Amino acid sequence: MDNPATIHDFGGFPQALFDVQYPAPGSPELARETKSIIRKTEIHLDDKWGLDHGAWSVIKHLYPNADIPVVQMGLDYYQTPQYHYELAKELASLRDKGVLIIGSGNMVHNLRLVSWQHLDKIYAYDWTLEASNKMRDFILNDNHQELIRYNLQGKAFNLAIPSPEHFLPLLYTMALKEKHDKVSLFNDKPVAGALTMTSVKIEAA
């Protein structure tokens, strides 16, 4: 769509978040190109939803003037992690053309176990640290299969990823990594016990 709306798809947060608007333009041309290069599944173009908080809450800090076109890709919640990893590889030609691909989520994201009294502090449960450390090791050592098999990594991972929608975007970014790319981590801090804001940056060598 040409002018995606800012979607506030959450509840229970301060009014300031609901007041945020991120009027970035869309790119129907890029959306059509993305549809054309994907063979693994049928892609449907949407002109109603807009940019939800998974997109604008991140991109607004990178491009505060909302002056770059943004296309948001939805995830099929019911597909396997391997499916998402393979689908992501079909997006490689977009990266080659200079399209910035962002996987937005949290590697550890369990809102039910958040320690609200520690919301503004660096604080983590033992299982959060265990899962986060293993994820960090898998990422930095190109162990993508262990990330894909996250549900076989034990109790710490089960607590860290009670549902997959925040974790799956990581697989998209890792799938697009090439052999000699540089990988670095930033904002690698736990929050409120059961969240991590660890971010992965992949740069061409």
- pLDDT 10s digits, 165-193: 999 999 999 999 999 999 999 999 999 99
Residue 119 has pLDDT above 90, yes or no: no
Q: What angle do CA 109, 141, 194 make, to 5 degrees?
A: 15
Burial classification of residue 83, based on how many CB atoms lie within 10 Å of its CB (0-12 exposed, 13-18 middle, 19 or more buried): middle
Residue 121 has pLDDT above 90, yes or no: no
**125-177: pLDDT as tens digits:** 999 999 999 999 999 999 999 999 999 999 999 999 999 999 999 999 999 99
Q: Could you give the domains of the chain?
A: 1-72 (no CATH), 75-205 (3.40.830.10)
**48-84: pLDDT as tens digits:** 899 999 999 999 999 999 999 999 999 998 899 999 9
CB 108 within 8 A of CB 157: no
Calculate the average pLDDT of the chain.
94
Q: What angle do CA 85, 49, 72 make, to 5 degrees?
A: 35
Burial classification of residue 112, based on how many CB atoms lie within 10 Å of its CB (0-12 exposed, 13-18 middle, 19 or more buried): exposed
Give one word for 93, left, alpha or beta, with left for phi > 0 and alpha for psi -120 to 50.
Answer: alpha
DSSP symbol at 173: H
